[in-house]
Chain A
Amino acid sequence: MYGWIWRKLPGPLAVRITIATILILGVAALLLFVVFPWLEPKLWFNNVTTEQ
């Protein structure tokens, strides 16, 4: 999978590394700022209140 992506990246090595870094940061940002905030309230381990 990663090998396939690497082969699809255009340009010389420096450009490939730059694009790969941007891709990784983009995926990390998508997870941190979109996916996790959406996912987190659905998980069970963050309750601090007692039932009323």
Chain B
Amino acid sequence: MGTHEGDYDSGRLYGELGDRPPEPGDRARNVVRNVGELLITAGMVVLLFVVYELYITDLFSAGKQREATAALDDQWQHPGADVVEGGERTNKIELEDGKGFAKIYMPQFGSDFHFTVLEGTSDKTLESGPGHYKGTALPGEHGNFAIAGHRVGKGAPFNDLDLLQSCDKIVIETEGSWFEYRMLPKEDEAPKWDSVRTKSPKCQKVNVLGADYSKVFGRDIVKPSQGGVISPVPYAPAGTKPGAALLTLTTCHPKFSDAQRLIVHAVMTLQVAKNPANPGQPPAGMLEDS
């Protein structure tokens, strides 16, 4: 640092050679500096919000999902705890808003891919995990068991939904049963399904559905306003009687946007009642990607 008067060359920060250093009371310079600092701060805040959306919400949601799973496990292990007096245990699934009632597995994404599915699709519920559209069918029922889930942040259960291929398994576990659903043929595969099917052992049980289902394919991308994807018979006029047990997953599309919805339709191919002696044990092969 220069110490004697008039030596501006060492430690200089501003301006052209020969400029004098800024006057302390230079108002315009102060204003510009403050505006610049505010803009940089705003940029940092926006970046921090991106970090929040992509990572911090995952942390919050992981905790909520753990709680929901623990509550569901507890309920399955101690059935009857909340049965009203004189009530009998049935196979009927108890639905309570925001509470878990089933688990979803996608063996394609690894054996650690499982989420507890909660009742309802409010923002708050979807923070805890995939949510069941109220009023749609229950697992195994004829109709359409429809589930929504986040694709980015908040645990992102459906992050890789676009990687699911036709005939891939989606397994649902309820208190009493295991249900194996398989993704339906995609639109380009449907016309030549018989030849596709013979090539893949996965697809043996995936039959082409009836005429009512002519517009239902394994993967679809729709506008958010197309609520018909979760109808008992998707896209069909109201009142069409469902002839199959479907599963529909919805999430946002493209990633990081809500302009469209990515839809996956699957059909039930197997239902196995749980062994009462060992209800926690999945049937052989059920959770394998086969």
**Cα distance, A3 to B45, chains bound together (Å):** 19
**Cβ–Cβ < 8 Å partners of A2 in chain B:** 37
B11 interface contact, C-beta 8 A? no
Q: For chains A and B in complex, what number of residue pairs have CB atoms within 8 angstroms?
A: 75
* B134 and chain A: residue at smallest CB distance: A52
Q: Do the beta carbons of B53 and A51 come within 8 Å of each other?
A: no
Chain A: minimal CB distance from B174 (Å): 22
Q: Do the beta carbons of B48 and A48 come within 8 Å of each other?
A: no
Partner of A44, one of B38, B158, B226, B258: B258
Q: Do the beta carbons of B148 and A49 come within 8 Å of each other?
A: yes
Which bucket holds chain B's interface residue count?
Answer: 35 or more
Contacts A31-B45, A44-B258 given; does A1 touch B34 at CB 8 Å: yes
Q: Do the beta carbons of A28 and B148 come within 8 Å of each other?
A: no
Residues of A1-52 contacting chain B, CB below 8 A: 1-3, 28, 31-32, 36-37, 39-41, 44-52
Contacts A32-B52, A41-B123 given; does A47 touch B37 at CB 8 Å: no
Chain A: minimal CB distance from B37 (Å): 5
**Cβ–Cβ < 8 Å partners of B154 in chain A:** 46
* A52 and chain B: residue at smallest CB distance: B227
**Cα distance, A52 to B285, chains bound together (Å):** 36
Q: Do the beta carbons of B230 and A50 come within 8 Å of each other?
A: yes
Partner of B256, one of A32, A39, A40, A45: A45
21 chain-A/chain-B pairs, Cβ below 8 angstroms: A1-B33, A28-B48, A32-B52, A32-B56, A37-B60, A39-B49, A40-B57, A45-B257, A45-B258, A46-B153, A46-B252, A47-B258, A48-B148, A48-B258, A49-B131, A49-B133, A49-B148, A50-B224, A50-B225, A50-B226, A51-B224
| Closest A-B pairs by Cβ, 9 of them | A49-B148, A47-B258, A36-B52, A49-B121, A1-B37, A45-B258, A48-B251, A48-B252, A50-B227
Residues of chain B touching chain A, judged by Cβ–Cβ distance below 8 Å, are 33-34, 37-38, 45, 48-49, 51-53, 56-57, 60, 121, 123, 126, 131, 133, 135, 148-151, 153-154, 158, 222, 224-227, 229-230, 250-252, 256-258, 261
